[in-house]
Amino acid sequence: MSGTVSEPDRSGQERTAPLDAYSRAVTSVAAELTPKLAAVNVAHRRPWGDFVAGTGSAVVFTDDGFLLTNAHVVGHADAGTVDFADGTTAPFYVIGADPLSDLAVIRADAPTPPPARLGEANALRVGQLVVAVGNPLGLTGSLTAGVVSALGRSLPTSTGSAARVIDDVIQTDATLYPGSSGGALANADGEVVGINTAIAGIGLGLAIPVNDTSRQIIAALLSDGRVRRAYLGLAGTPAPLPPPLRNRFGQRAGLRIVQIVPRSPAARAGLRTGDLLLTAAGEPTASAQSLQRLMLADAIGHPMPLTALRGEALVDVIAIPAELSADD
């Protein structure tokens, strides 16, 4: 027998080192965010008059009791209760909801935990670690982890006859369940980069990005309780630019107008079905989403220059966006 003591086999430790780093990142996010998430409980009135209980999640995002959630979580309710992971419960009332972005702001009528840190979804990359924190199936403070599986997805929303597409939606394989809506999608630093909103299938969840557009919407909900939007009254589909115009405008596509609403701002400006819209307010319009980014409150009633290709001629017009109503 040998009198020497063998060295421990470190290969197993080396193999688990990446897993340890992954675990440390996920547990750090859990410790950071779980206390700052709430289970949302509301009562929704059904068309025939009775009530049904609804649940979801919400994220504390200010130090004076405001929480961010989905508009579809609160629905038409004015109030409800929130439950935190430490067992405390508080009543809340709805500050404002915007179904066209599926965002809502509520306020707890009691002290809340410190706010979560809001990050920037535009900095995300496909394959990046993300952690979903919420209250699926009523289980307060539940967590799943995964990666950003795609960026730039589109999510149709509507209210009344008004419709919109939420652009730049985050797709993740972090598992979401009923009740996850309104919860946080966070990066490895614990910053909230999205608000979980939809389960599109097994291993496919969607989150509203936290970016400049959503920050404007949140600010409008805080100040006014609603979001005012501008309206041109056109529908279009992306179409390629003729090669001579690609270099001139620095873009490869425009928005082919397929419908003009009669007596709308677009109709009054002289736009026509078949026009290829190139720019709006000096910004490229390569998609409906790029035009929608301009359609917020500060555009209402203000002249907006538009450039379109009609046949082989460039046409410059001025439209004055109106305010979008639920009936538009």
Give the whole-angstrom CA distance, residue 105 versus residue 218: 7
Beta-bridge partner residues of 158:
163
Phi/psi for 150 (5° steps) reads: -165, 155
What residues have CB less than 8 Å from 304, skipping those under 6 apart? 232, 280, 281, 294, 318, 319, 320, 321
Give the whole-angstrom CA distance, residue 313 versus residue 270: 14
Total Cβ atoms within 10 A of residue 12: 9
3 state SS of 126:
coil
Tell me whether strands 51-60 and 66-69 are parallel, antiparallel or unpaired. antiparallel
Phi/psi for 298 (5° steps) reads: -70, -10
pLDDT of residue 48: 66
State how far Cα 267 lies from the chain centre: 31
Amino acid making up residue 87: G
pLDDT of residue 256: 92
User: Measuring CA to CA, which residue among 275, 283, 279 is closest to residue 309?
Assistant: 275
Block means of pLDDT (10 residues each) for the chain, length 328 residues? 54 59 89 93 72 84 96 91 91 93 95 95 93 77 88 72 70 83 94 88 84 91 92 88 87 91 93 94 86 87 96 94 73
pLDDT of residue 123: 92
pTM, two decimals, is 0.78
Polymer length in residues for the chain: 328
Place of tokens 């000096």: 282
Assigned token pair, 66: 């405001």
Residue positions annotated with a catalytic role: 72, 102, 181
Place of tokens 């797709």: 171
pLDDT of residue 328: 46
C-beta of residue 282 within 8 angstroms of C-beta of residue 255: no
pLDDT of residue 155: 76
pLDDT of residue 6: 54
